[in-house]
Amino acid sequence: MKNSIIDVRPLSPTVGAELHGVDLAKPLEERAVLEIRDALHKYGVVFFRDQTIDKAQHLAFTERFGPIKGKSFLGTVEGYPMIGEVRKEPDQSRNIGGDWHTDHAFIANPPLGSVLVARELPAVGGDTMFTNMGNAYDRLSDGLKKTLSTLRAVQAKRQSFKPDAPADRRVDGAEKDKIDQQFAQYEFTHPVVIAHPESGRTILYVNPTYTVRFEGWTQQESAPLLQYLYQHAVRPEFVCRFNWREGSIAFWDNRSVMHYALNDYHGERRLMHRITVEGSPLAAATV
């Protein structure tokens, strides 16, 4: 952008960019907010390095992009109920977000996105991967695009505990019944191909953590096509990998990217603070 305030440095041709020349501890002028929003729409996720922000500044920055989502499935920070803790302790085997997903796909208005701040990091590991679901859609055949444009998909919170989930999340028997009851209210059906609510870009909107099946199809019938879409979406050329370090911040667009928190730092502590921005209804794209 001519005469831009922020220096945008793409991390890959399809997804992710580092934004330099801005201090998030200070109030941002409206022009900087617009440039960050434009980069977010273009790259799906933006990253900031060497930032030093406290909890109040984290909240103030995030609020510039929309109302803050109140309810969280995470533990929260004392005095800041809007800040969720993405925490893994040294004695824990399971992490949060350890599979490809988009946050809260199982509600009527999935979040616009989240701002994640690194607070404590392992010596090595704990990277996060992101994939661009708009680019994944673009690279599908015209015939498959036409088929997908007619479909809707059931998304459910309880699906993250499905029988073929990672071993540390797999449940059955009485525990499965309990989870089914606990999360029964968290289910919603969205178009498989959506129009981005702000940019209008056409996006493939399914994910292996929460998508159950296509509406009107059985899970068995849905599985082969869904598996193909999941594998297609995470082709290496669609993905970037972000290496966290002290002072790192990520802001991702939850409508246009999936993300995956790598769980490769057993025996060490990792603590991140996340604030989520409320979203809007997702409408089917006109294909």
Q: Which of 103, 104, 196, 253 is catalytic?
A: 103
Q: Is 139 part of the annotated catalytic residue set?
A: no
Q: Is 101 part of the annotated catalytic residue set?
A: yes
Q: Is 41 part of the annotated catalytic residue set?
A: no
Q: Which of 41, 101, 104, 196 is catalytic?
A: 101
CB 66 within 8 A of CB 276: no
Tracing tokens 């990998």 back to the chain, one arrives at 241
Q: Are strands 270-277 and 7-10 parallel, antiparallel or unpaired?
A: unpaired
Q: Taking phi first (over 0 means left), then psi (-120 to 50 degrees means alpha), and beta for anything else, what does residue 66 get?
A: left
Q: Which of 158, 201, 259, 273 is catalytic?
A: 259
CB 44 within 8 A of CB 58: no
Q: Is 104 part of the annotated catalytic residue set?
A: no
**Mind telling me the catalytic residues?**
101, 103, 259, 274
